[in-house]
Amino acid sequence: MKLSLGVKSDPIEYRYSFPWLFRLMADEGVTHLQFGSFFEAYQLPDAYFHRLKTQADNFGISIDSLFTAHRELGGFFQEDQEWQAVARRNFERFIEIGEILGAKSVGSNPGAVPRDLLGTKARGTNCYLAHMKELMRFAKQRGIEWLTVEPMSCLAEPPTLPDEVREMGEILSKYHAENPETTARVGYCTDIAHGYLNQQGEHGCKPMELFEATLPWLYELHLKNTDDRYHSTFGFEPENLAKGIIDVASFRDVLLCRAAEIPVKEMTGYLEIGGPKLGRDYTDSQLEDQLRSSLRHLKESFLATPEAAAAPAAQSPVVITGANAATTVKIAPSMMCVDPMNFESALRRVELLGADMLHMDVMDGRFVPNMPLGVSLIEALAPKTRLPIDVHLMVEDNDLFIELLEKSGVAQISVHAESCPHLDRTLARIREIGAKAGVALNPTTSLDALDYVLERLDYVLLMTVNPGFAGQKMTPASLRKIADCRAYLDQRGFNHFPIQVDGNVSFENISAMVGAGADCLVAGTSSIFHRGAGWNENIGHLRAAISSGLNLRQATLSRINRRESARLTQSEPNQCDTSKRVA
């Protein structure tokens, strides 16, 4: 069983924007969102939800699930058919919204029987089940895999007791088993803080009992804390841990020990809290601390491997193994392209994308007419990220900046041959401070500049635009220069040197760049940060372009090998030609 952590969006309703929540989640390394309903959602046009999905993608957030935040789909338990019609219409719209957002599941609690009409509970339950069977077909048509149901804490809101949970689960699962190709599955979204007390305040069912009853149909979880009477719910901040009764780790242990009984292999638990008192200046601002504190507790208590949420593993670079050697292409996002007002959020999102290193441009306003990032930012960044930092100096006094970077912990530093009068000494000093040394060449600078420093180098950076600004077009000779540089290094025995390319590394250019010999791509506004799509979609396009380029490179290598083989064959003497034998 793989455990994941997410957030339900309820506490931002009428308080904060979705981008505010996305940014916080990205900061915390939590990427799963459960969209909580609000009254206007059912009337908003499709375009709103398409924009919301793009916003989530831009922060690396996946909207995997939708679930009601109120009881607004509970009309099936009302005697008035008008209520039933509204509930059905809104439920179908909720499913449509799930399709737009790319969710796998859509859910709600079934509804509530009026307390003065409890005798209608059985009739209301049958009405609900009949509509659910039809909604299972509607969901399947819309690409939704699961419809989810939340057991509640009141007999007027079924299912509540374990027997009700089992009965409803069996009825709906049987219907799906009879119609597997035309219906979505039904599972439980179980709230670990739900239990049952009767009218006398006596325990009828504790949270763990209800939780265990849902296991054969369990799809997802709501994670929150409560008191011993299930009277109020809250998060997992230190002050609430003291008064709450929920031991999250015990629920986690049941999931792991009884995973064979559960119909899914990956379980997401969504933090579901209402937040502080809504609409008060002295309370609304407390929500951020509540969410962060609760998420950090859940990383330790719910996730089987807490480090998985705090530091997601980077994706491996795209690799191809050919006849000559294995080739890797690394992705180095150019951090000068992100919003400086939200730099840390952008950093977390880039980490989640699976980048290989962070490309940091340092300029002095003299060698190039720009000054986007400074040394102080790099010093602050190094202890905050697991990614290697790749520094590109575009300055006149390289030696000064290298000394400033000595204790920053950066992985590699490239300097421009055009601004280094003592290039050999400068490269040696970079290695002395523990970093890899690279030489950067402007578009018109000859490869001859590398002739007498190859022994000091670890990589070469080729500028494919004139340095200083993002958004420029690639210079016409760039692809030829990449190929020439690859041949230059190979012929001199330095075929292990990677070639980094920087400038207009676009979806249109990447394949040709990689095909020509580029091994590391400085990705900016024309690829990973392209405004035409979300960052997750962009990284997919980027990797596809890399794969295409590697295939192109392999085809080129194969042609070269065939030509070389033919040349060698032609140069060998024909052993059957006796005319040239000496008597």
- The answer to whether 361 is a known catalytic residue is yes
Q: Which residues pair with 438 in a beta bridge?
A: 414, 459
pLDDT at 467: 85
pLDDT at 454: 96
pLDDT at 572: 60
Concatenate the DSSP letters of all residues of 265-312 into one string. SEEEEEE----S-TT-HHHHTTHHHHHHHHHHHHHHHT-SSTHHHHSP
Q: Are 78 and 84 in contact (CB under 8 A)?
A: yes
- Tell the residue number behind the tokens 């990205």, with chain if given: 26
Q: In the numeric block, which tokens belong to residue 334?
A: 């150019």
CA atoms within 13 A on the CB side of 173: 15
What residue ranges do the domains of the chain occupy? 2-310, 318-563
2-310: which CATH topology?
A: TIM Barrel (3.20.20)
Give the CATH number of domain 318-563; options: 3.40.50.880, 3.40.950.10, 1.10.260.40, 3.20.20.70: 3.20.20.70
Q: Are 72 and 90 in contact (CB under 8 A)?
A: yes
d(CA 415, CA 437): 8
Q: Are 485 and 447 in contact (CB under 8 A)?
A: yes
pLDDT at 311: 39
User: Is pTM, for the whole model, over 0.75?
Assistant: no
pLDDT at 309: 36
The dihedral region occupied by 502, where left means phi > 0, alpha psi between -120 and 50, and beta the remainder, is beta
Q: In the numeric block, which tokens belong to residue 563?
A: 């030509």
d(CA 25, CA 388): 23
pLDDT at 342: 82
User: For the chain, which ranges sit under pLDDT 70?
Assistant: 304-327, 470, 564, 567-569, 571-583
pLDDT at 362: 94
- The answer to whether 356 is a known catalytic residue is no
CA atoms within 13 A on the CB side of 325: 7
**Catalytic residue (choose from 64, 364, 458, 502):** 502
**Catalytic residue (choose from 356, 361, 390, 519):** 361
Q: Are 192 and 246 in contact (CB under 8 A)?
A: yes
Alpha-helix residue ranges (DSSP H) falling in 114-230: 121-141, 162-178, 207-213
